């Protein structure tokens, strides 16, 4: 997915890559906007990133697409 929640604010993967580079914050600090489960950022700076759930979530339409 391309969008996630960070501290209850929607953030795009593109902005999250910049945020990660600036702050060094990594890991499952994001949440899926649909199911609220933890998600982490994948991707390198300067590329298109995306978020992935920590575990597959049944019933979440954002959960089963890997990229």
- Nearer of residues 12 and 45 to Zn ion, judged by Cβ: 12
Quote the least distance from Cβ 60 to Zn ion, whole Å.
Answer: 3
Three-state SS at 18? helix
Could you say which of 32, 41, 50, 52 contacts Zn ion (CB under 5 A)? 32
Could you say which of 19, 34, 38, 40 contacts Zn ion (CB under 5 A)? 34
User: Residue 18: phi, psi to the nearest 5?
Assistant: -70, -45
Q: How many angstroms from the chain centroid is the CA of residue 40?
A: 5
- In the bound state, the residue with its beta carbon closest to Zn ion is 32
Number of residues that bind Zn ion (CB under 5 A): 7
Note whether 18 and 25 are within 8 A (CB). no
């Amino acid at each position: 997915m391309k969008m996630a929640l960070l501290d209850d604010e929607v953030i795009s993967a593109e902005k999250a890559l910049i945020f990660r580079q600036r702050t060094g914050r990594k890991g499952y600090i994001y949440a899926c906007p649909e199911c609220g489960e933890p998600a982490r950022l994948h991707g390198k700076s300067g590329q298109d990133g995306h978020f992935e759930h920590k575990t597959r979530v049944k019933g979440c339409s954002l959960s089963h697409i890997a990229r």
